Structure 1
Amino acid sequence: MSFDLPAIIFAAGLVFARLGAILMLMPGFGEPSIPVRIRLSFALLVCLTLGPILAPSMPPMPTAPLMLAGLIVGEVLIGLMIGGIARLLMSTAAIAGQVISMQSGLAMAQSFDPSQGTQGALLSTFLNLVFITLLFTTNTHHLLLQAGVNSYAMFPAGDFPSMADAANWALNAFIDTFRIAIQIAAPMIVFGLLFYFALGILSRLMPQLQIFFVAMPANIMFGLIIIIIALGAMAAVWLERMQRFAVELS
């Protein structure tokens, strides 16, 4: 039994080009807080495991170097597109946390957000950690890995996807990110409107009293209570959208 070593290396390189790009941005696997060597080792292990399964679906190795380079670049772009949309959905936590912080009076409470790689609202970091924990405890990360494998059925290797369809898909994910963020923050938005409306009335009745400073502890306390009550529903809304993203690639 003979093995075509160049063809095997070519197929393995194509698999790594797409799945490696997906895992570089995939929530839970591609977090900036994870060391680069660990992420690279995990990507190589996944590609080594899935390579023999995906190898039959790989196109034949082109003879021209430019065609080979174009094929690899196309696979990397497909992987970056899929991983980027998943990362975009993960940024829901940062947007919702910032809105909730503004409504609850905790906007000035800043901490380092590992998912964004910069300073962010404390509640954004909290929601990010909750969503990542939920991602693994519900085995949704299995769906994301399976989505990477199933992407070869939607985007066959060697066929560059339609830019119009890719742009429309990314636009819908971008819209869903903000829509879900507002849905998650909706209880605090309603509370903030009512609370500040009541404070506005009180400040007109008692203009000599600094009512906003007096009521700020109550704002924070009731805001945290609402977050505790609604946290389960917030997480369920985000998890449903992330699972639907994995199903879209199936």
Structure 2
Amino acid sequence: MIDIDFLPQTGFVFMLVFSRLGTMIMLMPALGEASIPPRVRLIFALLITGVMMPLVSGSFGTIPQTVPGLAIAVIFEVAIGLFVGLSARIVMSALQVAGNIIAMQMGLSFAQTVDPTQGTQGVIVSTFFSMVAVTLIFATNLDHLLIAAMRDSYDLFKPGQALPVGDFSQMAVKAVSGAFKLGVQLSAPLVVFGLVFYVGIGILSRLMPQIQIFFITVPANIGFGFALLFLILGAMMSWFLQGFEQSMTVFVH
């Protein structure tokens, strides 16, 4: 006779692992982009859960005997998945900050398009940055770091323990401030260019008031801005990937 007594415990562990990892995958950059069909993301989450479950099943205790106990266990796992996934997603928002600053500096604030990585409308510079960043995350194997963060999250946040709300709050504030700082750093060269450019235009308009400055400023600003942007794009993306890697190593041992 086949012993099936293990099935309830196995189903319980699978449900909790899927609750955490599925939430992470739906939010993480590269793995959970809005351009990826939900069905594909769901299948990927189920596959990752099947691979991870044997590795982390020892972290789980016995099945709670009450429905509220089961619900609380699922809610805790979803909350942890939300925190880790949003932490990675917040870092990607640095590109939105940088893109908006650069677009404003270059006079492209009204040039908007749909961002396939976010599923929302944004300035064209931010959309370009997001697409390049997602491509480079896969090209540099940083997606492996995301999967490692999923596995090591069970060492940081063990199932069945109380949620470290205080730590969550501190890390969230640090992640938001770090993303804003990174965005400003990425856009700094274009900000300096804008200051120098407009000072030069101001001096030129004083020296030669007969020139129609407006008809010169707009195309020159866009042209020189794009030239500088593509000159420093490699360094910008390298700096972003370094910041992204540092932010995710918090969850990796």
- TM-score class, shorter-chain normalisation, is over 0.9
1:172 and 2:174 are equivalent in the alignment:
yes
1:240 and 2:248 are equivalent in the alignment:
no
Q: Which of the residues 131, 146, 149 maps onto 1:129? A: 131
1:207: Cα distance to partner? Answer: 4.0
Matched residue, 1:26: 28
1:203: Cα distance to partner? Answer: 2.6
Matched residue, 1:56: 58
| Count of residue pairs the alignment pairs up | 250
Moved more, 80-89 or 113-122: 113-122
1:236: Cα distance to partner? Answer: 1.2
Q: Which of the residues 73, 93, 96 maps onto 2:75? A: 73
Q: Which amino acid is the alignment partner of residue 98 of structure 2?
A: A
The answer to whether the 8 Å contact 1:15/1:47 transfers is yes
Q: Which amino acid is the alignment partner of residue 104 of structure 1?
A: M
Alignment deviations for residues 105-139 of structure 1 (CA, whole Å, 9 cap, x no partner): 22222111123322211111110011000100000
Matched residue, 1:10: 12
Matched residue, 1:138: 140
Matched residue, 2:228: 226
Structure 1 segments of 4 or more deviating over 4 A?
none
CA distance in 2, matches of 1:204, 1:174: 43
CA distance in 1, matches of 2:30, 2:40: 13
Alignment deviations for residues 12-60 of structure 1 (CA, whole Å, 9 cap, x no partner): 0110010000001000111111111001011001101111111111121
CA distance in 2, matches of 1:176, 1:9: 39
Query: The residue matched to 2:58 in structure 1 has which SS?
Result: helix
After TM superposition, the score normalised by the length of structure 2 is: 0.95
1:39 and 2:41 are equivalent in the alignment:
yes
Query: The residue matched to 1:61 in structure 2 has which SS?
Result: coil
Moved more, 209-218 or 199-208: 199-208
Alignment deviations for residues 181-227 of structure 1 (CA, whole Å, 9 cap, x no partner): 01110100000011111112223334454313312212111111111
The answer to whether the 8 Å contact 1:203/1:209 transfers is yes
Matched residue, 2:202: 200
CA distance in 2, matches of 1:172, 1:212: 42
CA distance in 1, matches of 2:141, 2:173: 27
The answer to whether the 8 Å contact 1:199/1:212 transfers is no
CA distance in 1, matches of 2:158, 2:221: 53
The answer to whether the 8 Å contact 2:30/2:143 transfers is yes
Matched residue, 1:188: 190
Moved more, 239-248 or 76-85: 239-248
Residues 197/7 of structure 1: CA separation in 2 closer, same or farther (3 Å cut): same
Q: Which amino acid is the alignment partner of residue 237 of structure 2?
A: A
Percent identical among aligned pairs is 44
CA distance in 2, matches of 1:213, 1:102: 18
Matched residue, 1:118: 120
Alignment deviations for residues 134-158 of structure 1 (CA, whole Å, 9 cap, x no partner): 1000000001111011001011011
**Which 5+ residue runs of structure 1 have no aligned equivalent?**
none
1:241: Cα distance to partner? Answer: 1.6
1:88: Cα distance to partner? Answer: 0.9
CA RMSD across the alignment: 1.4
CA distance in 1, matches of 2:203, 2:180: 31
Alignment deviations for residues 82-110 of structure 1 (CA, whole Å, 9 cap, x no partner): 10111111111111111111112222221
After TM superposition, the score normalised by the length of structure 1 is: 0.96
CA distance in 2, matches of 1:160, 1:248: 20
